[in-house]
Amino acid sequence: MEATTESTAVQRELTIDASPDTVWEFLVDPEKAIRWMGLDASLDARPGGTYRVEVIPGNIASGEFVEVDPPRRLVHTWGWEPGGMSKSVLPGSSTIEIELVPAGDGTTLRFTHRGLPSEEAVQSHAHGWDHYFERLAIAAAGGDPGADPWLTGDMT
């Protein structure tokens, strides 16, 4: 795979047998949000409000809500707070967009995560284990960090 751009995007689409209103609650209500992501969440869903989720122990994803249009469209920035494993996907450096479209009695959810650094961009400022942790962090955000020289034994 060739990484020719400085950033990459991740896109997913899924159909949910629940109304957009119900799905929306799971995006903005902290109690409901942690039923599908993270251990603890602090969400202030209004433009400029805080998005902060402890995703895995010691690794906190945080950002700011940009667009809040219930129950249709939610945009917030996203990145790992310093102290966890990533040093390049910083808070505010990438953006998550979620669109909910009614589909019969259910909802089509379109998920886009853009602004993730490309493998190339990461390689330029990460080495050794740091490089490895960056790969994990990109994979964590749904990106493709490419073949892993550590695990295939190609790293010299």
Interaction mask 37-76, other proteins, x per CB under 8 A: x------------------xxxx-----------------
Residue closer to other proteins, measured from CB, 85 or 121? 85
SS3 at position 8: strand
Cβ pair 138, 117 in contact under 8 A:
yes
Question: Which of 1, 2, 4, 14 is close enough to bind other proteins by CB under 8 A?
Answer: 14
Residues in the chain: 156
Task: Answer positive or negative: Cα dihedral of 74, 80, 82, 87.
Answer: negative
Q: Which stretch binds other proteins (CB under 8 A): 42-50, 66-74, 118-126, 136-144?
A: 136-144
SS3 state of residue 149: helix
130 binds other proteins (CB under 8 A): yes
Binding range to other proteins, per CB under 8 A, among 14-22, 44-52, 65-73, 118-126: 14-22
SS3 154: coil
